[in-house]
Each structure stands twice: as C-alpha cells, then as structure tokens.
Amino acid sequence: PVTPSNAARTGGIIYPIFLSVAESLGSYPDKNPRGFGAYISVLLYVVTMCTGITFLTGYAANTVAWALADQMLGLHITWLQWTTAFILPAGIVLLIAPYVMYLIYRPTLTKIDNVRIAREGLAAIGPMSSKEKILLCLFVLAIIGWATSSYTKINSTAVVLGFIAVCLMTNVLKWKDIAKNSQVWTTLMWYGGILGLAGAMNQFGFFKWMAEQLQLYVDFSSFSHVALLFTLVAAGSVCRYLFVSCGAYMASVLPVQFTIGLAAGLPAWDMFLVFLMCGVMGAILTHYANAAGPVLFGGGYVSVKTWWLIGLFFTLLSYIIFGLVGVPYWSMLGLFTSF
C-alpha cells in the first residue's frame, strides 16, 4: 500500500531478497534453476499483480485507470472503495498462487537447513558497510515519504527523485548505474506521452464523440451487458501481447473500452471493475506487460515459452476467480449490476 510502483516494490525490494534466498539454496540461472529460483521468480510475478491491483497506491498504472474513471465515467473512487472492491478476489488468487504454482511448476528442492544457511551467510557477508547503512536509512525515509504522501502532499515521484539525488550526493549510487537502465527511461517517455495524449483527447471531447459515432453505426441492443463485457475483456487480453507497459495499456486501451461501454449503456462501476481486472491481472500473460516482469524474467531462471504458458494459465485462473468470487462480492457491495 505504501510503495506506488510494482517495479520499485518487486524489483527494488522483494526480488533481491528472493534472489538471495534462491542463491543461498544453490539455485542459479545456469546451475540448478529449477531448484528454487524458477519457481519463486514466476510466483512473484503473480503475487506482484495481486498486490498491485488491491491498493490504489500500490501500482503506478492504477492512477491512470483512476483518473480515466473519474474523467470518462464520473466515478470519484476513494482509496478505501478501491481496496474494498479488490481485496477479496485478489486476496484469494494471492493465497492459492503458491500452492497452485507448486503443483504446475514444482521446485526440485523441497527441504532446507535454514539455520545453517543463515549462520554461514551472515558470517560470509560480515558487518554492514557505511554505504549500506546510509542506503537503509534512505530507503526507510522513501517508504515513509510514499506512505504519508496524502498528508504531506509530496508527490510520490518527487520522493523517488529526492531519494536518487541523495543517493548520488552520498555516493551510494553512481550516475552510470542509473543511466544504464535504458528500459526505465524509455518506459518513462512513452508513459508520459501516451497519458498526456489521452488526457488531451478527453479534454477535447474525442471519446464522447467516438461513443456517439459508435451508437450511430453499431446496434448494441443485440448484445447483453455480460456478453459485451466478456468480448471487451477478451479483446483487451489479446492486446496485452502488444504492450510493454501497463501504464501505456491503461492509457491506450481503457479509454476505448470505456467509450464502447458508454455507447452500449454499460454501468460505470461494472466497466471499471471488469476492465481494471483485465488491465492488471492480464499483465501476467507476458514477461514484458508490466515493469516488474523484465526484472524477474531478466534473472534468467525461466524460458520465454515456460513463462508465457504459466502466464496464460494464471491469467485465465485469475479471470475465473474474479468471475466466480469477485462478481458476486461486487454485487453484494452494490457495485456490480449487470447480473
């Protein structure tokens, strides 16, 4: 809830811990990858999307969907409403994911002597260096900055930039370490450009005009609300293979889905809940559909074919759980009305 980026939370905080656990157990990309590293890499991707969708402040792309829902659908969604809506279905996927992954992609290592490994590991790394202590302090301050941004009014991006600036000034990081992450800079430019374009198009009434045109040429009366939601989710899922950023997907595909839904008279909350689920959980399909994916896949433990097959399985499983659990739950909350 306090880390507004999947890439930061997963790639910068959790994966290094998981990776060190795998290496401590003798599982490396080129040596015994299926021992533990492969299992934990793919599992963490599923976990990342579950935690990302649960909290408005847990995922950068959520703010894009939140802004579009406000601008196009007139939904003024609070943090508590968001979490209440998604915590149950996403929580169920989160709880069953480790066991399901164990069944379909079982690690070969099933027993460990954790006490011995921990003792030997601590002895090998020795005491913390001064730079490590500085980094730890800055990291804690960054988390506090993210967590209190609604009170301090300090933008989460400003917290990140301040963190990087102090790291550079204290020589904890060097500029070349930051500059070599070219994919991050590319994503930043595309993200800002596409989101800005979507905002401008909405401001000039493009999506409203598009909805009116669709109503003139398409007979939506032949579609039931549920059938249209299914169709748009399927189309959105296929589109995931074309996008290398969840933020770009949200800014590009969500307005189209909302526009078609508005033209067909779909309830606003139904569209938001279903299309956001498709946008976030659908990112599990590929290793590049979310910024955390390249970090996890880049570990080298899992092949593309395996990643995509597992991704397809867990995406469909997530859709089923959201359909069987999420829809009745949303209906109970008075949010979902298509059934």
Instruction: Report pLDDT for 197.
Output: 65
Q: Using an 8 Å Cβ cutoff, are 324 and 100 in contact?
A: no
Q: DSSP 3-state helix, strand, coil percentages of the chain (rounded to 5)?
A: 75, 0, 25
DSSP assignment of 122-188 equals: HHHH-SPPHHHHHHHHHHHHHHHHHHTHHHH---HHHHHHHHHHHHHHTTSS-HHHHHT-HHHHHHH
pTM score: 0.77
| Distance of alpha carbon 6 from alpha carbon 247, whole angstroms | 11
Residues 38-94: pLDDT tens digits?
A: 999 999 999 999 999 999 888 888 888 998 899 889 898 988 899 999 999 999 999
Is it the case that residue 184 has pLDDT exceeding 80? no
Q: Using an 8 Å Cβ cutoff, are 39 and 106 in contact?
A: yes
Residues 114-125: pLDDT tens digits?
A: 888 888 888 888
- Tokens matching residue 263: 């033209």
Is it the case that residue 187 has pLDDT exceeding 60? no
DSSP label of 8 = I
| Distance of alpha carbon 106 from alpha carbon 42, whole angstroms | 11
HSE value, Cβ hemisphere, 13 Å, CA-based, for 64? 28
For residue 195, what pLDDT band results from cuts at 50, 70 and 90?
low
φ, ψ at 35 (rounded to 5°): -60, -50
Higher pLDDT among residues 7 and 189, named by residue: 7
Q: Identify the weakest region by mean pLDDT among 25-39, 74-88, 154-168.
A: 154-168
Residues 277-331: pLDDT tens digits?
A: 999 999 999 988 888 888 888 888 999 999 999 999 999 999 999 999 999 999 9
Q: Using an 8 Å Cβ cutoff, are 162 and 130 in contact?
A: no
| Distance of alpha carbon 112 from alpha carbon 224, whole angstroms | 54
